[in-house]
Homo-oligomer: A and B are copies of this chain.
Amino acid sequence: MAGRIYSVRKLGGIIFLILQDRCGLIQVVFDKKTDNLIVGSWVEIEGEVKEEKRAPGGIELRGEKLAIISQPAEDLPIDLSKKELNVNLNTLLNYRPLTLRHEKVRAIFKIFGTALEAYGQIMRQLGFTEIKSPKILGAASEGGANFFTINYFGKKAFLAQSPQFYKQICVGAFERVFEIGPVFRAEKHFTTRHLNEYTSLDAEMGFIENHEDLMEKLTEVTRFIFEKIEEKNQEELKLYNAGVPVVSKNIPRYRLAEIKKIIKEKYGYEVPSETDIDPKGEALAGRFAKEELNSDFIFLTHYPTAMRPFYTMPDEENPEETKGFDLIFKGLELATGSQRIHDYKQLIKSIKKFGLDPKGFSFYLQAFKYGMPPHGGWGMGAERLVQQLLNLSSVKEAALFPRDVKRLEP
């Protein structure tokens, strides 16, 4: 058995050692004198595995031989053997190479890994092809100031804010595609919900009737992810006293206008008119869903057309509203999606209406010029999913090496 010494306790002549390997913690008992048991050392231990109800995991190793493979060059500045790290966010991140070794921190990323696995698995089951779209773009076509610029051999290029155009183009070839990849947002936010680089779980599918098909699919996908986490990460969930949420087949769906009225009547809060809905509004929508509908999730639909991107399909019955939605999980936007405009001429009209120039979109428009089926998709934030599941106070805790306005390291 090989791993790192997590903690050492001596009781009489007996040494109790907790060993951390890639699976978890195991108790090792030595009744011989054993020197040099420095916490943080990497060791190989030979011995016999025995049942022991009082040990973590129900088993312990009766140690016979111990070989030290590698040792810390300095004392550890943070005690990793405590159940709770109790360090502030800055310390947690400045000492990331070390704090990642804490069992409770590690748990976050084991769950994160399961979420990635589950997303790929369910998407493939549903007939989606995995794609990898480029992150370096020649043009920031979508507009807006939220692009990071790159020096690309002397030319100005941009970091992709999302795989949006590419996944739509790919619907024309593969009908159903998904992508797991980084997205980059040059937003000056410094909040507990935002990262300037995060992992987006994207999807785009053809032959939908409308956005309701998408919400149905997204519900299925979300349920699968949480089921997988429940199946694989019992130990990790326990460390956070967290249970996976119930994802019912019928997550409540409310129109944005409707939920704003409810929020105002129930909680006396008026969503500022210059936003579609603000974070406080989302939080209250989540509270309403939990208190009145007993659901951790709520879909908000029919966002205003003027506040969604130009490619969003307007509702035929009221073109001021879109066939778009957000999925709110415990009061936080987890995913956003919509049906897209698939008609070439309607798309050009929409681009112009948004004050943009169709010439900047020639490659994107090529797909539509030669025919596209009705389609739509979503983007879901992987870090937010884990944040909300474990009730972490900041999304930065759910990113291995988070990037924000002030943080580019480690």
Chain B positions within 8 Å of A130 at CB level:
112-113, 116-117
CB of A150 within 8 Å of the partner chain: yes
Chain B positions within 8 Å of A369 at CB level:
72-74
CB of A152 within 8 Å of the partner chain: yes
Given A70-B342, A173-B101, A370 contacting B401 (CB threshold 8 A): no
Oligomer: number of copies: 2
A403 to B207, CA, bound (A): 30
CB of A143 within 8 Å of the partner chain: no
What is the CB-to-nearest-CB distance from A146 to chain B, in angstroms, rounded to a whole number?
12
Chain B positions within 8 Å of A95 at CB level:
366
CB of A27 within 8 Å of the partner chain: no
Which residues of A149-166 have CB atoms within 8 Å of chain B's CB atoms? 149-153, 155, 157, 159, 166
Chain A 376-410, CB within 8 Å of chain B: the 1/0 string?
A: 00000010000000000000000011110100111
Binds B, one of A51-59, A175-183, A218-226, A312-320: A175-183
Q: Is B366 a contact of A132 with CB atoms below 8 Å?
A: no
Q: How many residues of A contact B (CB 8 A)?
A: 97
Binds B, one of A134-142, A281-289, A290-298, A300-308: A134-142
Secondary structure call for the A interface:
mixed
Q: Is B371 a contact of A409 with CB atoms below 8 Å?
A: no
| 9 A-B residue pairings within 8 Å (CB atoms) | A21-B175, A22-B175, A40-B371, A41-B371, A109-B173, A112-B130, A113-B129, A135-B184, A182-B182
Interface residue ranges, A against B (CB under 8 Å): 2-4, 21-23, 40-42, 44, 69-74, 76, 95-98, 100-101, 105-106, 109-110, 112-113, 116-117, 120, 124, 127, 129-139, 148-153, 155, 157, 159, 166, 169-170, 172-176, 180-182, 184, 186, 188, 196-197, 199, 206-207, 342-345, 363-364, 366-374, 382, 400-403, 405, 408-410
